[in-house]
Structure 1
């Protein structure tokens, strides 16, 4: 055996093997680095590897049998007769190895300095892709929606592949409208690859033709391209083929669960599938009209296929959206949502879409948080790119006292959907109010507003910023202008109306609030938005009779909870001077507070407002000793919150301090703190409105309180004057308002 290894050495087999391995590795690196920048297909690299693997044993055999000599290639004879030639060949191989190593080092330096940034855009997730809307080549405009709907389904299916980072449609579709350059688009979305194409559907023959292209975003070269022409019945097969080609070209290995998910069909009935795709497109618009259209299409789909699990789950989601974006009350949609959820759970309880529908219904409609986090974690485990489920998980974790974990879910949301204006607004909100990073939060909003000023839900950015500038800078004028601009873009949007109505009260500009509230009464007459906004105006103006009528109507319409009814009725009695009646109403509505049992436990999960109202009633009724007991507990609760949160929201911290001093009847400290917050810290959000609402009713006759109120009101009116001039410039000032505001 020893002679054999000595023979390998003498015949330079070791050196040839070393030289071959180094050279092969170098060739692979060159192709892997240069190939993508020259537009070479991935098959070049894989074929090269195969050739080199096959060539390795062949090279070793030839080295054993032959050698290079000064006389040329010669069959190896007895080793001792060729010693000098062998040594010369060995030296040549040594020189070759040294040369290849030197070239390798130079190549690695060049690659690191000149090519590294050109190969990938997203360096942390190489297999990252955005699917763009397809170009519509269909002559029939009725089916133009397929150009968005089918890429959206491809996104949904790719989202089930754990090894892929797939940008959600809101970001990819939105960015595609404003940015034409491939690399700039990919950099904005932070992806390395783009999938685009075109689609032509002929309704007469029911044939569909799809051309898809996978693009390396760093250089714009097409890595893979293919056309499919099939009957529409095979559309889901085409989607599966595209997804598999994407995964293969991005070298993502599918696990059995992902293989199964790609092979699964949500329905075999293609008419049902068409209706479902169209319904999803209407749902994306988030308007009452579009949501009703989506629901009608889903009803048609379910009528054709009663056991359509995804259809039932989508019905739950669409009816839930009508509460937030449309004109539906909880009582109207709850039984419908429950019916479809029960059907979906009976058909496919473990589907991610069904798990999401279940969690969303329990969390937002029933306020039941028991299994929500677990269900949402299951949904994102089964479908890692499920953006909506990640976002709902953020809300669920945050609301159950796990804000750090919740923020991680929000970061995942923005990783998957970086250009979504709504999610960026939520990030800014989290940064501003939970981490007290005010400048960073405003920067997030400004950047997103610059990139996508007209994107869906972009008004959330401006509306949140309108609150931020009041808290951080005390700028009521800029706050109003931000809300005004969004209102002018869409005068019927519920968020625009709500923020505009309440924001104008902070400027003592209640005629503008009444103008917007009338639109709310007309367009959202069946929702609690009427109670929220119209009620705020009545309370602001101390129109007790009108507010009482509204409360009675809200009770009849079941807009408000029993706790809200108790608080409203007690507050109205208190404003009317009927303290004993107010106290009786409160103690009947909140027996657990009235009997003091609430003080035996932790106040962490108790709403602050009922306790604060009870303290106010006790002090107004002369029961200071009992009020002190509650005040001490609520102040301890506040101090604990401030101490345990290293970065509490400045406004929330200010509010807790003011409420503590008022509850403890420390008038001097209360007035000093309120003046400091408003004029020194420049946090001017809500304080004037709270004083007008009667939140500090006990001090309203006190001269020192009146002095501070007048000082704050003077600042409000100074900024109001600027807003009035702005409205006049915009042609939106009603001269009759001068008289109503006492400005004549």
Structure 2
């Protein structure tokens, strides 16, 4: 045995094994660095590893059988002699090994010195991904709806994975035509990964191509082509989702994977009708096209005729129904019942469909003012789909406004900032965070988010004026709004300045506008008593009294027929205080306080509002305000600590 090992040494087998191992490792490192940039998938590296493993024993056998001499390769005999040529070859192999090791060390040092700060294309914590609209490779341009359906299917599947942030559909829609470079898209959407693809539909087959790209370096991480029968489309969507999750080193729980793999319908014709309906529904939302809405409803109905258990088509019908009757629900019990029946049916069809809980929760919130049921449904929707932006935004408002759960609300808004990047979506996220921070008396952040929202919607100047009012900056509010036709607001600002003649001019203009055009916003219905305060300031007591009584009667109707009971209680308390009816003033102030709706700057303004001058020094008034201020200070401190630690 000892002689055998001596022979291995003489024939340089040990040196060849070492050189092969070091060289193979170096090749793998180079491929790992340059391969993704050349568009190579990980399968190339896997194949190379297999080849290197297979080649290792071959190299050892060749080292045993052949000798490298200055005259070239020659077959060795039964026993290798320890000749001078043999020693020269050994020295050359040693030099080769040393050179390879030096090169490997240089590569490691270069990576440590120059690339340690470069983000890795895999393994991001909380990775964000944008799914660009897949291209339509079909000969028929009308197949675009099918292509969009595939895009949405991939997005919806990925959205169910809690560890991923999936950029919203409306945010990526801006890149459908003439998109910039992938890295530029990544920057605009704040997405580390971009998924692009194409769809070719040929009769009963579809060819779906998908490619995952690491956006900062425009590096291709994975690509695949799926040439399958059309009936396998849902299986393909599940495979794409699983492959992307694997590439991003993201784990999918068995429960989530079950929902991803579950087919929404087994009827491909129903699926086709549904996809067409979605196209018309999306178009109606962006263009307010009633014809598109009706076509969408017809197609959803056709889908349900083919498959009466198709929950997604049922949700499509619900969204159409809500849009068609959005101004009629408040006074029509039949429509309300119909809407709830449709929502309950969708959930019965698929108890794990996030959109079904979203539409019902939104309806409870927007039209029935049933906050507990709305919160429960919206929470379930976000649990099932952690990237469902509509449900996240509405749940954040409920947490903040109704439950006063400020920190959970802020976490939800932080999530929205990752997912929403279209102007319409950003506007909502910015304005709500502005209002939330304002309620926390963090005026700096309140103005910060408001100033980010105003370029997206210049009409927000009115909110900025309201912020000025809450700080007692009445002249600045007037200056900001003086060139508008917001007559009630301008009259109110001059009332606060006690410039009653000027205030009267604006309220008279507002009264004419209301008579000619009607009330444009429900909040305007609460302006009559401020008009009365102006008249009282001018000594026209009887007319002021009449307007106050008119407002109180109107308030009784408003609190029954509209979701502004909290605001109505505040205004009624102020009117009774102004009239000197203290008992009634506190009765309504207690009602307002019990609803827990000190949002919209009311805690700021009640400390300046002239309506409450008559009771401001009474102990109960002070106790109510002080209690709420103490709550605000407590939350302020918690938010500050979490923001300082980076947890928020």
TM-score by length of 2: 0.70
With 635-644 and 117-126 compared, the bigger mean Cα shift is at 117-126
Contact 1:161 1:383 survives alignment (8 Å): yes
What displacement does 1:68 show?
Answer: 4.4
Q: Cα 1:372–1:104, aligned 2, differ >3 Å: closer, same or farther? A: farther
Offset at 1:48?
Answer: 1.8
The question of 1:25 aligning with 2:25 is answered yes
* Structure 1 residue 369, shift from structure 2 partner: 5.5
Conserved? CA contact 1:24–1:52, under 8 Å: yes
8 Å CA contact 2:134, 2:196 repeated in 1: yes
Alpha-carbon distance in structure 1 between the residues aligned to 2:336 and 2:194: 41
State how far apart, in whole Å, the 1-side matches of 2:624 and 2:98 are.
79
- 1:547 paired with 2:551, answer yes
2:47 corresponds to: 47
| Paired residues of 1:470 and 1:476 also in contact (CA < 8 A) | yes
Q: Contact (CA 8 Å) 1:36, 1:219: kept in 2 or not?
A: no
Distance 1:619 1:466 in 2: 22
Shift in Å at residue 103 of structure 1? 1.7
Cα separation, 1, equivalents of 2:369 and 2:303: 30
Paired with 2:576 and 2:386, the residues of 1 have a C-alpha distance of 53
CA contact (8 A) 1:353 1:379 kept: yes
Secondary structure of the 1:631 match is: helix
Could you tell me how far 1:171 is from its partner in structure 2?
Answer: 1.5
Q: Is the 8 A contact 1:428 1:442 kept in 2?
A: no
How do residues 85-104 of structure 1 correspond to structure 2 at under 5 angstroms? 91-104=91-104
User: 1:530-589 CA distances to partner (integer Å, 9 max, x unpaired)?
Assistant: 3x223225534543355345335536x7225766666655654555x462xx735864x7
Residue of structure 1 aligned with 2:259, choices 258, 261, 264: 261
Instruction: Determine if the alignment matches structure 1 residue 429 to structure 2 residue 434.
Output: yes
CA RMSD of aligned residues (A): 5.4
Output the CA distance in 1 between the equivalents of 2:376 and 2:5: 62
Partner of 2:644: none
Matches within 5 A, 1:223-242: 224=223, 226=225, 236=234, 239-240=237-238
**Equivalent in the alignment of 2:403:** 400
Asked if structure 2 preserves the Cα contact closer than 8 Å seen for 1:125 and 1:165, the reply is: no
* Structure-2 residue corresponding to 1:669: none
Structure 2 counterparts to residues 580-729 of structure 1, below 5 A:
583=583, 587=587, 605=596, 627-629=618-620, 631-632=622-623, 634-642=625-633, 645-646=636-637
Q: Cα offset for 1:44?
A: 2.8
Instruction: Decide which of 513, 525, 539 is 1:534's aligned counterpart.
Output: 525
Moved more, 381-390 or 288-297: 288-297
The offset of 1:188, in angstroms, is 1.3
Q: Secondary structure at the match of 2:562?
A: coil
Deviation by residue 1:653-708 (Cα, 9 ceiling, x = unmatched): xxxxxxxxxxxxxxxxxxxxxxxxxxxxxxxxxxxxxxxxxxxxxxxxxxxxxxxx
Q: Which residue pairs with 1:694 in the alignment?
A: none
For the 8 Å contact 1:121–1:186, the answer to whether it is kept is no
Structure 2 equivalent of residue 655 of structure 1: none
Deviation at 1:33, TM superposition (A): 1.8
- CA-to-aligned-CA distance 1:622-675 (integer Å, 9 cap, x gap): x98xx42553454244245325523899xxxxxxxxxxxxxxxxxxxxxxxxxx
Equivalenced residue count is 599
Q: Distance in 1 between matches of 2:86 and 2:9?
A: 10
Structure 1 distance, partners of 2:6, 2:439, is: 72
Paired position in structure 1 for 2:420: 417
Q: Is the 8 A contact 1:362 1:369 kept in 2?
A: yes
Displacement of 1:466: 6.4
Which moves more between the two structures, 148-157 or 436-445? 436-445
- Kindly tell me: are residues 208 and 396 of structure 1, through their superposed partners in 2, closer, same or farther at Cα, counting changes over 3 Å? same
Report the CA distance between 1:389 and its aligned residue: 3.8
Pairing partner for 1:340 from 308, 330, 342: 342
Instruction: State how far apart, in whole Å, the 2-side matches of 1:516 and 1:6 are.
Output: 107
- The alpha carbon displacement at 1:4 in A equals 8.3
Task: Specify the SS of the correspondent of 2:327.
Answer: coil
- Tell me whether 1:38 sits opposite 2:38 in the alignment: yes
Q: Alpha carbons of 1:288 and 1:256: their partners in 2 closer, same or farther (altered >3 Å)?
A: same
Aligned residue in 2 for 1:732: none
Alignment of 1:198-217 (within 5 A): 217=215
Q: Does structure 1 retain, via aligned residues, the 8 Å contact 2:438–2:445?
A: no
Distance in 1 (CA, whole Å) between partners of 2:365 and 2:436 is: 23
Q: How far apart are the structure 1 equivalents of 2:109 and 2:487?
A: 59
TM-score, with length taken from structure 1: 0.63
Partner SS state of residue 174, structure 2: helix
Alpha-carbon distance in structure 1 between the residues aligned to 2:166 and 2:271: 26
d(CA) in 2 for partners of 1:302 and 1:607? 45
Distance 1:445 1:618, change over 3 A: closer
Instruction: Check if 1:168 corresponds to 2:171.
Output: no
Q: Look up the match of 2:537.
A: none
Structure 1 segments unaligned to the other structure (5+ residues):
488-498, 650-744
Identify the residue that residue 190 of structure 2 maps to in structure 1. Answer: 190
What corresponds to 1:107 in structure 2?
A: 107
SS in 1 for 2:194: strand
Identify the residue that residue 696 of structure 1 maps to in structure 2: none
Distance 1:537 1:478 in 2: 23
Q: Check 1:234–1:566 CA distance in 2 against 1; reply closer, same or farther (3 A cut).
A: same
Report the CA distance between 1:343 and its aligned residue: 1.7
The DSSP-based 3-state class of the residue aligned with 1:544 is: helix
Seen in structure 2, the aligned counterparts of structure 1 residues 633 and 292 have a Cα distance that, compared at 3 Å, is same
Q: 1:519-540 deviations in whole A, cap 9, x for unaligned?
A: 9847x7xxxx43x223225534
Superposed CA deviations along residues 196-218 of structure 1, whole A, max 9, x for unmatched, are: 4566889xx89988766655645
The answer to whether the 8 Å contact 1:118/1:218 transfers is: no
